[in-house]
Structure 1
Amino acid sequence: MLENRKYIIIGAFCLVGLIYLSRLFYLQILDDSYSLESSNNSIKRVIEIPYRGQVYDRNGKLIVYNTPVYDLYVTPKQVRIPDTTAFCRMMEMTRAEFDSIMNLAKEYSPVKPSLFVRQLSKEDFARIQDALVDYRGFEPRMSSMRTYPARTLSNALGYVSEISKKQLENQEIPYYRQGDYIGHNGLEEQYEEVLRGRRGVKFVMQNVRGVAKGSFKNGLYDTAAVAGKNLYTGIDVEVQKYADSLMQNRIGSVIAVEPSTGEILVSVSAPTYDPNLLSSRHFSKNYVKLLRDPYKPLINRPIMASYRPGSTFKLIQALIAQQQGTLTPNMVYGHGGSPMRCHCHGGNNLRGAVRFSCNPYFYNVFRKMIYHNGDPNTFKASAIGLRQWHDAVEKFGIGQKLGVDLPTELKGSLPDVETYDKLYRGKNTWKFSNIYSLSIGEGELLVNPLKLVNLAATIANRGWYITPHYVKGIGRVGEGIPQEYLKRHETDIAYQHYLPVIEGMRMAVAAGTVNKMADIPGIDLCGKTGTAQNNKFGHKYDHSIFIGFAPMNNPKIAIAVFVEYGGWGGSAAAPVAALIAERYLKRKTEATKLDEHVKKQYLLPPVSMLPGYKGPKKAPQIRKPEPVQKDTGRKVEKLKPMMASNSGE
């Protein structure tokens, strides 16, 4: 019995030994993958970076494409440079630059490759290619550089640059390596995973000097790189470039959408810059220069700038009041009893009040809304009414992020009961006299241009909107669009309440607060002017606003224009909107006099007027606004210091 056990144990040990020997034979003789991993001196693993997806406009015109370039990587441990001076001369760099780059590479890793020089053109690489054989430790890799033929849309597109150390450390799923490129800001960041594609791996045989001798096993173990998907946008690049030209010598923004789809047609942030500046080897130098520009060209104003909406907000007031039942289209208000004065003669109905932007009219409309609940307690009535008003305004997308497909949208501010409880340090410490500036879009209200173009689209659609978005297709037109950009959002305002407001908007352009030249024949533009206060320098330098849509029936374009320091909304912003609507609808500009008039205007303020300037508070006299029919009123009494002063159009 014991003898049998001895043989069993011996047999078990022999079996285990045989298994180990078989495994070793397989790994060392039969399995090429083991040989592959252990043959770094003869077989090199090369990562293939895929081409990023290209970007097109709504008509198939190329906005962004890839230009082939070469990146040069260095592995410090392997570096052998016989003559450093000659090497620096060949690379067109100073010895100090060379030492700095090498020190950074050593800090990252002595044995791992890191970026030495990026984006060498084909011509530059051809010049140094043969000489690199004499300098061990340097490895060229094929790459690509983003190129922008239209030279527009810089803020909305974003840019591609080397991944930061923080981004590397914060990866949830490890993908990027030191020296990799990644999208920053704009569409490049928002759709990074779609645009970047999928890496490939190629195994290359090389000799002891690192010279490639061909593919290993005829590419049996290679994995092909998969190019990123193309991005199709709703942008009309022809109209986009025209809008850029109209916003020269101005600070502000233009954003236009197709009301029926929510697709963004035009997105201008002025002043702008050539996006090619941030896709060259001189990225760092150009970025710092743009960052230090006092006019802040890197800010994407359509979604990041915050303004008071001014008189454009009166449209929302009119719609909510009608739905609530406190306003009818034929209701007339005069100027009596209002703390706000106006430049119209008063006694208007709703259409006339929108046409002439009557401040006292909308003061009374707002007051009646707030006190609609009939509570005899003044403080309690204000709180109840404001809460109802806040909930109704919120359905227009105000005071929240709309969800545009860009990573830097700001939500703005829509004050509520809690806002004023905090502002006035307690409940029942404020009343209507503290909040009436909201009636004409002033006070604590803050919106970005995206919110107001969405309002214009909502009115154009008579009560609903689709979240504004840039994407029109991923991979192919109409495919891959996120579901949130196909969903309708209802405002719960009845269709019939929009009709008198739209009629008033049409009258405002035809014979109201808008420069008469902006009523271009055949466009049928409906709009509303606004003036956002710039209290630091007085009303002459207020920000000019216009929102509208065209044509009046079956609208094809909704638009919002902000011109900072532009004065009246009807003089600076409205003509820009009218010309862009004409170019989009007619595909040409027939209003040549208006075009010349707009392009001759110089509304760029001196640096001393910009936010953050530490000099004297008195504004320099740069120009006077164009003489047009005034479309704003000023309040008579001064509000409490913690309240924003209110002015309307």
Structure 2
Amino acid sequence: MNSFFARKFVIQGIFITIALVIIIRLFYLQIIDESYLLSANNNVLRKVVVYPARGVIFDRNGQVLVQNEPVYDLLVTPREAKDIDTTLLCQLIDIDLPGYKTRMDKARAHSPYRASIFEKQLSSATYAQLQEHLYKFRGFYVQNRTVRSYPDSIAPQLLGYIQEVNDRDIERSNGFYRPGDYIGAAGIERSYEDLLRGQRGVKNQMVDALNRPKGVFMEGKYDTLAVSGEGLISTIDRELQVLAEKLMKGKMGSVVAIEPSTGEILTFVSAPSYDPNMMVGRERGNNYMKLLNDETRPMFIRPIQASYPPGSVFKVVAALTAQQDGLIDQHTAFFCPGGYRYGGGRAIMRCTHVHGSTDLIRSIQGSCNTYYGYTYARMIDSRGMSGPRAYDLWRAGLLKFGLGTKLGIDLPGEKPGLVPTSDFYTKRYGSDKWRSGFNISLSIGQGELGITPLQMANIMAIVANRGFYYRPHLVKGIGEKKIIKEEFIEKISAGVDAKYYEPVIEGMSRVVNMPGGTAYSVRIPGIEMCGKTGTAQNPHGENHAVFFAFAPRENPKIAIAVFVENAGYGGTWAGPIANMLVEKYIKDTISLPKYIQDRIYNANFIPKPTKKETITKDTTTQKKAPSKRALQTSQTLPPQKKEYYVHHSQLTNRHE
């Protein structure tokens, strides 16, 4: 009996304890914990997403390149949108009635109960008109945002642009992005997206029955603050960039200038260009399609994506690697009768002139093809090993100079250029018994070699530094602390000892500063610029004009590569552009005669448009870049065929 009563009290105690726990919990939830009050009042509260301002991008001197400006998205909750004066609303935001119906149907399909974007990026003027009447449109409200603005309308290929996220972006972000968010889609905007985007916040706003804001809920206790994105200090010199773009107007090609001591890119021009403000606002989609279908391909980033035969700049690399391998020295001389004979004397690679006995310095000064034909033959034929094995050693030396590989610039889409493997030629000729005569055009930077303008400028930076470089980059400081990424302060050796650079540099100095040099007309008073002109062969039209240089000779401040497609001689067209940019950067002046300046500014080498292409359905991606065949010289033919010798008998870097 006593046991029964004991169990009875235990059971009662359990029930009483549970009841007390429930009461205490209800008291806590209803009286103490106010967060549930927020949920209970959702019918009079609106959660407004607060989008952060993206980080501002500055030039190296603190001038603004990319900033933000306010825009306004009009949102709608379809279930709440009743008794709407559609005519007035359409008039205020400049749409028609069918457009209103289409937008509302899309919003209902998204969710009748949740807000979605009805119209994006209303301007401040449009928002001001709408705001006066917004209380009349129940279920509609406005959300503040910012979009990018480009004060100087320069450098679109390097700065990039932002666009609305797609499903793939949302999936890859693990839920960070939501439909309607914006993401960096190209250039620096894409490379540094994680830093520029910031962190969104949420504001709980009270509204009345007419959808009018009535203040902040609980004094913002449950709001989360938006965190602005990090600012970036770019390496670009704004004034130099503006000048370079003016000089390249009406032309196709590239200008890349690097500070050798840091790898910082001072100027990065891809021509033709476009106004980056075209990629902002409600007309962005239409503008994008215009740019995408422009035959001059302004969205193609030539400095890192176009691959050209390097021409004369390659002679600089050949001279350095051959010295390092002990195959020549600065006193080594070869006789130039006006060309280099190979294939048992049956074929000739013609030279620019009859140079006679030529040493290393004079070979650079006079751009002697014959000298480098002999040098390449020593590389491949005179090392006591098979042609493919000797070629592999030669190729390894080129890779150390950054050829045939990506340099690692902080931009998406960089291409490596092309230095063919020995297997390429073994497969082409059906045997591994080939020697230097089979691909002799490589000796003067022609044939299958492909190099980007960025790689050209980087070679000049290597020569300026006498044997090393830092990865070319476009951002020198991140945030208030001006942090720089570790990979951009790594010193990279090109694999050639410093002592071998002096004869090459002397030859480059003579090109510019000695009477008779191919670039003597673009010498700069008071500055010893060391350079090299080039005329890269183009089987599809006029040859490309090339000039690459660094200055001054001691303690160099700038290394530059200028490439103008279809222009002809490098000394005539590319050289003056480099002259003006180098002098402007070092002395903040331009002394080149005005008639030469005017000739450069007014020149137009853009081909006339051909028949307009039909826009295909697949217009979401950029057109493919020209094939390597289109951007390089014609492919060489096997030596067993007569045409091979005919082709190579025409090879020459003509008057440069």
Mean CA deviation greater in 600-609 or 572-581: 600-609
Q: CA deviation at 1:512?
A: 5.2
Contact 2:512 2:521 in 1 (8 A): no
RMSD value over aligned CA atoms? Answer: 2.5
- Who is 1:244 aligned against? 245
Helix, strand or coil at the partner of 2:60: coil
Q: Which amino acid counterpart does residue 411 of structure 2 have in structure 1? A: L
Q: Distance in 2 between matches of 1:602 and 1:329?
A: 41
Alpha carbons 1:440, 1:646 under 8 Å: kept: no
- Is the CA contact 2:350–2:649 (under 8 Å) kept in the aligned structure 1? no
Q: Which residue of 2 aligns with 1:301?
A: 302
CA distance in 1, matches of 2:278, 2:589: 30
Residue pairs, 1:203-222, within 5 angstroms: 203-222=204-223
Indicate which of 576, 596, 599 corresponds to 2:598: 596
1:54 equivalenced with 2:56 (yes/no): yes
Pairwise mapping of residues 72-471 of structure 1 onto structure 2 (< 5 A)? 72-171=74-173, 173-335=174-336, 337-338=341-342, 339-346=348-355, 347-375=357-385, 381-425=386-430, 427-428=431-432, 430-471=434-475
Q: C-alpha distance in 1, partners of 2:94/2:359?
A: 73
Q: How many residues align?
A: 617
Is the 8 Å Cα contact of residues 153 and 275 (structure 2) preserved in structure 1?
A: yes
Aligned partners of 1:188 and 1:195 also within 8 Å: yes
Residue 646 of structure 1 deviates from its aligned partner by: 4.9
Task: Indicate yes or no: 2:562 matched with 1:558.
Answer: no
> Conserved in 2, the CA contact under 8 Å of 1:513 and 1:529?
no
Q: Determine which of 506, 510, 516 is the counterpart of 1:507.
A: 510
Measured in 2, the distance between the counterparts of 1:595 and 1:140 equals 52
SS of 2:297's partner is coil
Give, in whole Å, the separation in 1 of the partners of 2:611 and 2:288. Answer: 24
Tell me the distance in 1 between the aligned counterparts of 2:470 and 2:649. 32
> 1:419: how far off?
2.5
Does the CA-based 8 Å contact 1:243-1:580 persist in structure 2? yes
Which residue number corresponds to residue 529 of structure 2? 525
Q: 1:555 to 1:6 in 2, by over 3 A?
A: same
CA distance in 2, matches of 1:534, 1:17: 90
Distance in 2 (CA, whole Å) between partners of 1:386 and 1:108 is: 62
Q: Matches of 2:520 and 2:82 in 1, distance apart?
A: 74
Question: Is the alpha carbon distance of 1:460 and 1:611 closer, same or farther for their aligned partners in structure 2, counting shifts above 3 Å?
Answer: farther
Q: Are the equivalent residues in 1 in contact too, given 2:351–2:652 (CA < 8 A)? A: no
Aligned partners of 1:127, 1:409: CA distance in 2, in Å? Answer: 46
Is the alpha carbon distance of 1:432 and 1:374 closer, same or farther for their aligned partners in structure 2, counting shifts above 3 Å?
Answer: same
The equivalent of 2:18 in structure 1 is 16
* CA shift in 2, pair 1:213/1:324, >3 Å: same
Tell me how far 1:513 sits from its aligned partner.
Answer: 5.5
CA distance in 2, matches of 1:372, 1:108: 73
Shift of the 96–301 alpha-carbon distance from structure 1 to 2, 3 Å rule, reads farther
Distance 2:294 2:132 in 1: 42
Superposition deviation, residue 641 in structure 1: 11
| SS of residue paired to 1:410 | coil
How far off its partner does 1:610 sit? 12
Greater mean alpha carbon deviation, residues 93-102 or residues 325-334: 93-102
Q: Which residue of structure 1 aligns with residue 628 of structure 2? A: none
2:456, 2:548 within 8 Å by CA — same for their partners in 1?
yes
Displacement after TM superposition at 1:404 (Å): 0.5
C-alpha contact (below 8 Å) 2:349/2:648 kept by paired residues: no
- Contact persistence 1:441–1:648 (CA under 8 A): no
Contact 2:519 2:532 in 1 (8 A): no
2: CA distance between counterparts of 1:646 and 1:114?
A: 64
Counterpart AA for 1:435: N
* 3-state SS in 2 of match to 1:286: helix
Aligned to 1:648: 653
Task: Give the whole-Å Cα distance in 1 for the aligned partners of 2:217 and 2:167.
Answer: 34
**Structure 1: tracts of 5 or more residues without a match:** 376-380, 613-633
Contact 1:355 1:512 in 2 (8 A): no
Secondary structure of 1:570's counterpart equals: helix
**Other structure's SS at 1:268 match:** strand
The 8 Å contact of residues 349 and 649 in structure 2, kept in 1 or not, is answered as no
Following superposition, the deviation at residue 455 of structure 1 comes to 0.6
Cα offset for 1:608? 4.2
Residues 212-263 of structure 1: CA deviation (Å, up to 9, x unaligned): 1111111112222111111101111011101111001100110101000111
CA-CA distance at 1:300 after TM superposition: 1.4
CA distance in structure 2 between the aligned counterparts of 1:292 and 1:328, rounded to whole angstroms: 51
Which stretch has the larger CA shift, 401-410 or 104-113? 104-113
Query: Partners in 1 of 2:197 and 2:240 — Cα distance?
Result: 28
- 2:498 aligned with 1:495: yes
Residue type of the alignment partner of 1:354: I
Q: Is the 8 A contact 1:638 1:645 kept in 2?
A: no
* Cα distance change, pair 609–520 in 1 and its aligned pair in 2 (3 A): farther
Structure 1 match to 2:488: 485
Identical aligned residues as a percent = 41
Cα distance change of structure 1 residues 43 and 253 upon mapping to structure 2, 3 Å threshold: same
Displacement, 1:643? 10
1:149 Cα deviation after fit = 1.1
Counterpart residue type for residue 280 of structure 1: G
Shift of 1:429: 5.6
**Aligned 8 A contact 2:247 2:600 in 1:** yes
Q: What is the identity, as a one-letter code, of the residue corresponding to 2:488?
A: Y
Q: Structure 1, residues 453-505: CA drift from partner, whole Å, max 9, x if none?
A: 1111000000000000011111137x221100111001121111001111111
1:66 aligns with 2:68: yes
1:76 shift after superposition? 2.8
* 1:176-234 Cα shifts (integer Å, max 9, x gaps): 11111111100111111111111122111111222111111111122221111111011
1:355-383 superposed Cα distances (whole Å, 9 cap, x missing partner): 121111111111101124213xxxxx211
Unaligned runs of at least 5 residues, structure 2: 343-347, 615-635
* TM superposition score normalised by structure 1: 0.90
CA drift of 1:102 comes to 3.0
Task: Return the offset for 1:160.
Answer: 1.8
Deviates more, 1:596-605 or 1:46-55: 596-605
Per-residue CA distance 1:281-313 (angstroms, 9 max, x = gap): 211111111111110111111111111212211
Describe the superposition over 1:166-185 as per-residue Cα deviations: whole angstroms up to 9, x where unpaired: 312332x3111111111110
CA distance in 1, matches of 2:566, 2:613: 12
Aligned amino acid, residue 357 of structure 1: S
After superposing the two structures, state which structure 1 stretch, 564-573 or 15-24, moved more.
15-24
Give me the TM-score of the superposition, normalised by structure 2. Answer: 0.89
SS at 1:607 equivalent: coil
- Distance change >3 Å, CA 429–CA 87, structure 1 → 2: farther
Q: Summarize the Cα distance change of 1:286–1:18 in structure 2 as closer, same or farther, 3 Å threshold.
A: same
Contact 2:117 2:180 survives alignment (8 Å): yes
Q: Deviations over 1:522-549 (max 9, x none)?
A: 2321112223332123xxx122222111
